[in-house]
Structures are given as structure tokens and as C-alpha cells.
Chain A
């Protein structure tokens, strides 16, 4: 029996780096959130709900609450999905599965890549999926070019605590943004960001 090549140690190191970055961004987000709260409210915070500590079913409202708490701007689209842009890239917060039990943070890179560079793109996408824990990334043919997507998905069939929901949202936004910024520097053929509304 052979162990997976360049296996676990590498994953640990990469994970450590990713989490450090996530911690930095998380703190920045918390600061921003605190500033927003200080500006707009002034009153005392809502009393903490005991149920925040136990797993509860997912809902779009809970996702929206989490984003609001961080001071982020977002909207609900025609499909009822929560969506917004971060660093110019569009993100969706989707509830999937028969009972809306799966939370998926899905980002789409604002640029596109010409289709003739498909093999190079697939190799770059594979490199990311191999070296990084999150997100799962892939290329999809859209119109005349290749669009790049990043996804983090967790099955909360047995409910999610507020902490677990927040961890998934942070993980999805932070790691996907890292991927998109990497793509931005290595894809000179990429077109300018499209509609950012």
C-alpha cells in the first residue's frame, strides 16, 4: 500500500498558510463590521440567542444575517439567492439539496479566458485543486470564452451552528478571492471585468 504522493505534510503547510490569510482577512472584516455597527446603530447589541450554539437548519435569512453582521453589501436575486460582489467578482450563497441542507459559496471570476488556452487553464485549475484545500475550482465554457468558478460546499443535513455557518462563508469568500487574484496575475489574455452590479 502506498501513501498518496507529497501527501499530508504539504496539505498541512498549505492549510496553515491559507488559514493565516483567512485570519488576517477575518480580522479586517471584523474591524470593518465594527465600524459599520458603530456608525449606524449606537444602541446596544441584540441579546445573544441561546440557539446560536446548537445546530439549526440553514436558511437564506441566516446567511443574510451573517453577511450583514460583517457589514457586507448584498442582494437577493430573482431566484431568491443571496448574491454580491467581492473584489469585483460575483459570489452566490446557494442552498442546495432536497431540503436546502447544503450551503454552497460559489464565486465566478469577473474575467474570461480565450478558449484556445483550455489545456493551460485546466492545468492551472488542477494545480490549485491539488495544492490548496479550498476552494474547488473549475473552468466552464461560456459564450466565446472560458469562465472560472470557485466553490466551497458543506452539507448541513443535521443543521449548522452560527459559528459553522460563518466559517463556511469566510472560507468560501477568502479562499475563492485568493484563487481569483492568482488567476488575475497569470492570465494576461483575460478580458476586463464585466458587469459589476
Chain B
């Protein structure tokens, strides 16, 4: 939010400037910065800061038109394009936000080496999400994707929106990649 318009345009100075004038200009800039900062704190920034909370996450889900559930542990989850995602607020001060998705299909243990290569390649080439597999006791392999951010004590609304979108969209990109890499024999047969 700018209170003084574009200062850049009004800062045209002669090419030869005395040391005192330069110091004066710098002082002027600093003063502007500080007053602008104070005004911004009083009036409110473009992005209102508040602590992270589960309620803020569910508010976002409702505003975005997503249906969600709260499980017996109090964790928020929902289906996104058929993939199960959890939205977790973690940490001692509820400062950590995690979006965790799970691919809708299981793979057999025979393909473990292959899927480990796919996850490693993704993790090396893409910024998000962090991808990994979990082997169940029955030998089936589940593939997961996570984006986790330590948001600090205060998070803006636009920041929260961006973090949740990042987790969902990059998770979905990875799962689409799995859909093409590991063709579903049942779907192909139908």
C-alpha cells in the first residue's frame, strides 16, 4: 500500500549532487519509509496478518467452495479431483501449515524400485511437492505428496491462500504425472 504515490518519479535530481544534499535526500526517503510504515500499521496492509489456525483453513475451504471433513483427530481433509488431501496446522505455536495429498491408487511392491526413481526424479527436478512412498504391511505401496511451510507467528490472508493453492496445485501435478507414468490397467481395459 502506497501513501505517497510513486516516489521514484519525484526523485529526479541534478547529476551533480553535494554530499549534504544526498544525505538529505536519503534522510527524506527514510522518513517517508518510516511514516509510510507507521501509517500502514495503523490503517492495515493489503494483506492483513493474523495467527494461523484451523478455522482460517476451513474458512478458506468454504470460501473456495470446497467440501471438507474433520476427522476424529480433529484434522481437516477433503477430496480434490479425486485425491485425498489433508490440511494440517502443526507446531507448538500452530505456525506450521502442511498440505498433504495421497494418490488414489496403490501399486504393488514389485514396482517399488520404479516408483522410488519417479519420486526421486520429481524431488530433484521440481521445487514442490516433496514426494515419497509408504509401504503398507500387506505390501501395497501408497504414494504421498507434501508441501509444508513454517509461516511464523503471523500470516497474511493472501499468503495463506497462496500456500494452500501451492500445496493443492503442485500435489495435483505430481499425481497427474503418476497417472500417466503408471497407467491404470482397469481403466485402460474398460
Give every chain A residue within 8 A of B133 (Cβ-Cβ).
126, 130
Query: Are the C-beta atoms of B71 and A133 separated by less than 8 Å?
Result: no
Segment of A5-13, A35-43, A72-80 in the binding face: A5-13
Query: Are the C-beta atoms of B120 and A122 separated by less than 8 Å?
Result: yes
Instruction: Judge if B8 is at the interface, Cβ distance under 8 Å.
Output: no
Closest to A129 in B: B132
Query: Are the C-beta atoms of B90 and A11 separated by less than 8 Å?
Result: yes
Main secondary structure of the interface of A (DSSP, over half): mixed
Instruction: Judge if A185 is at the interface, Cβ distance under 8 Å.
Output: no
Instruction: Judge if B172 is at the interface, Cβ distance under 8 Å.
Output: no
Cβ contact of B127, chosen from A53, A96, A156, A171, cutoff 8 A: A96
Give the number of residues in A that approach B within 8 Å (Cβ atoms): 52
Query: Are the C-beta atoms of B47 and A164 separated by less than 8 Å?
Result: no
Cβ contact of B158, chosen from A2, A6, A49, A158, cutoff 8 A: A158
- Residues 136-175 of A contacting B (Cβ, < 8 Å): 136-140, 149, 151, 153-159, 161, 163-164, 167-168, 171
Instruction: Judge if A15 is at the interface, Cβ distance under 8 Å.
Output: yes
Instruction: Judge if A61 is at the interface, Cβ distance under 8 Å.
Output: no
Closest to A8 in B: B75
Instruction: Judge if B86 is at the interface, Cβ distance under 8 Å.
Output: yes
Closest to A131 in B: B132
Instruction: Judge if A44 is at the interface, Cβ distance under 8 Å.
Output: no
Given contacts A4-B84, A49-B33, A126-B116, contact A54 B127 (CB under 8 A): no
The complex places the Cα of A129 from the Cα of B145 at a distance, in Å, of 10
Instruction: Judge if A24 is at the interface, Cβ distance under 8 Å.
Output: no
Give every chain B residue within 8 A of A15 (Cβ-Cβ).
90-91, 96
Cβ contact of A134, chosen from B33, B148, B154, cutoff 8 A: B148
Closest to A134 in B: B148
Give every chain B residue within 8 A of A104 (Cβ-Cβ).
127
Number of A-B contacts (CB under 8 A): 132
- Residues 51-105 of A contacting B (Cβ, < 8 Å): 51, 53-55, 96, 102, 104
Query: Are the C-beta atoms of A133 and B128 separated by less than 8 Å?
Result: no
Query: Are the C-beta atoms of A133 and B132 separated by less than 8 Å?
Result: no
Nearest CB of chain A from residue B19's CB, rounded to whole Å: 21
Instruction: Judge if B99 is at the interface, Cβ distance under 8 Å.
Output: no
Closest to A135 in B: B130
Query: Are the C-beta atoms of A4 and B163 separated by less than 8 Å?
Result: no
Instruction: Judge if A125 is at the interface, Cβ distance under 8 Å.
Output: yes
Cβ contact of B40, chosen from A9, A54, A167, cutoff 8 A: A54
Given contacts A123-B116, A126-B116, A133-B98, contact A158 B162 (CB under 8 A): yes
Closest to A127 in B: B132
Query: Are the C-beta atoms of A49 and B156 separated by less than 8 Å?
Result: no
The complex places the Cα of A163 from the Cα of B156 at a distance, in Å, of 13
- Interface residues in chain B, defined as those with a beta carbon under 8 Å from any beta carbon in chain A: 33-34, 37-38, 40-41, 45, 47, 49, 71, 73, 75, 77, 79, 84, 86, 88, 90-92, 95-96, 98, 100, 102, 113, 116-117, 119-120, 123-124, 127-128, 130-134, 136, 142, 144, 146, 148-154, 156, 158-159, 162-163, 166
